[in-house]
């Protein structure tokens, strides 16, 4: 099914001047001491295997001795820019433990492990080739989801913080069957809300390895949250089903469990709750969101055929004529957000217009 829903290879779209200006205004566009292409100069690499001996598709890279020191210093500075005030005061206490390169996926990222030598705590950050689709996806996640996203960009280099959690595919394979009925019900609720959130904001390809499960212990229970970790397929595909994780075969076990533990009335209630939350977030971030959508409406991040297919499919689902009038992916997303905000206000008698 997925081969028909999702394009085998999505092209990378450049960062436009308009988007760059928006990112500068929001403090995302900052000068950095090293670029993605600099890291491609590694001299060699060794394959990384997991504890079961499976190839992780990551390579542990090494650099020429005369370059290594400069590269590591630059990576430490990037860490301080992303997570601190950008000063050099903490540089002596940082160590770059590894620089790994991923051979899988569109972005082909570098994963940098930065360790504090005083307490042995470490954190990962990712350096990728900048792609407008991914930047829009990251910024929309920050504005419209319950999660804050920390990322920086300069020219054609994108730097992202690590999103912690259990990879969705690992959780489904190893942990899901062990969950209690109450936990399964909580996971199902979160999956319904995650499914709805992805659909409304047009984030595609949320196969199980593109999201993580975040577990928070709260008194006598565990709270579950599903977080997207891959944003390459923001507003690109034409089939509306791509934007609903329930239609991706890698998520079948979650879908089947959800249908078993939740009544149809509960599913509809949770979908409505998430649409209301999305409408509230969109309204609270209206000025910033308007600026981002203005960039999207003046950008090319998909093909005419896919734009035509998506606006037609969403018109059939909603009957909203604004989808038919949309000329590009930015306009389609704006129509989708306007649709849920309008419905939220119409259904809520306590809203002051």
Q: CATH assignment of 166-347?
A: 1.10.1070
Q: What is the pLDDT of residues 49-92, one digit of tens each?
A: 988 888 888 999 999 998 999 999 999 999 999 998 888 999 99
Per-residue confidence at 348, pLDDT binned at 50, 70, 90?
Answer: confident
3-state SS, residue 8: coil
Segment 146-163 shows an average pLDDT of: 94
Length of the chain: 353
3-state SS, residue 237: coil
Identify which has the larger pLDDT, 27 or 107. 27
**pLDDT number for residue 266:** 97
pTM for the structure as a whole: 0.94
Is beta strand 151-154 parallel, antiparallel or unpaired with respect to 122-129? unpaired
Type and span of the H or E element at 59: strand 55-62
Distance of alpha carbon 228 from the chain centroid: 4
Largest CA distance in the chain: 67
Closest Cα to residue 186, out of 261, 248, 264, 251?
261
In the chain, CATH 1.10.1070 sits at 166-347
């Amino acid at each position: 099914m997925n081969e028909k829903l999702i394009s085998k290879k999505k092209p990378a779209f450049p960062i436009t001047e308009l988007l760059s200006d928006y990112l500068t205004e929001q403090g995302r566009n900052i000068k950095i001491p090293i670029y993605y292409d600099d890291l491609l100069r590694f001299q060699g690499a060794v394959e990384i295997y997991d504890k079961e001996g499976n190839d992780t598709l990551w390579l542990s890279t090494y650099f020429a001795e005369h370059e290594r020191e400069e590269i590591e210093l630059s990576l430490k500075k990037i860490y301080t820019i992303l997570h601190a005030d950008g000063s050099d005061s903490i540089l002596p206490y940082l160590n770059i433990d590894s620089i790994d390169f991923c051979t899988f996926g569109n972005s082909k990222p570098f994963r940098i492990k930065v360790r504090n030598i005083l307490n042995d705590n470490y954190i990962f950050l990712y350096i990728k080739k900048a792609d407008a689709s991914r930047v829009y996806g990251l910024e929309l996640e920050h504005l419209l989801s319950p999660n804050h996203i920390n990322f920086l960009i300069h020219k054609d280099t994108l730097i992202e913080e690590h999103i912690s959690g259990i990879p969705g595919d690992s959780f489904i394979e190893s942990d899901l069957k062990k969950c209690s009925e109450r936990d399964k019900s909580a996971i199902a609720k979160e999956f319904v809300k995650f499914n709805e959130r992805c659909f409304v904001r047009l984030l595609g390809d949320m196969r199980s390895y593109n999201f993580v499960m975040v577990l928070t212990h709260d008194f006598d229970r565990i709270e579950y949250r599903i977080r997207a970790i891959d944003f390459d397929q923001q507003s690109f595909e034409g089939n509306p089903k791509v934007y609903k994780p329930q239609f991706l075969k890698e998520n079948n076990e979650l879908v089947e469990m959800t249908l078993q533990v939740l009544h149809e009335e509960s599913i509809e209630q949770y979908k409505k709750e998430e649409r209301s939350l999305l409408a509230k977030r969109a309204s609270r971030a209206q000025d910033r969101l308007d600026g981002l959508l203005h960039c999207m409406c003046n950008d090319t991040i998909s093909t005419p055929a896919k734009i035509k297919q998506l606006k037609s499919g969403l018109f059939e689902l909603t009957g909203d004529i604004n989808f038919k009038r949309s000329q590009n992916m930015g306009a389609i997303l704006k129509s989708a957000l306007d649709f849920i905000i309008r419905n939220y206000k119409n259904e809520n008698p306590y809203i002051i217009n």
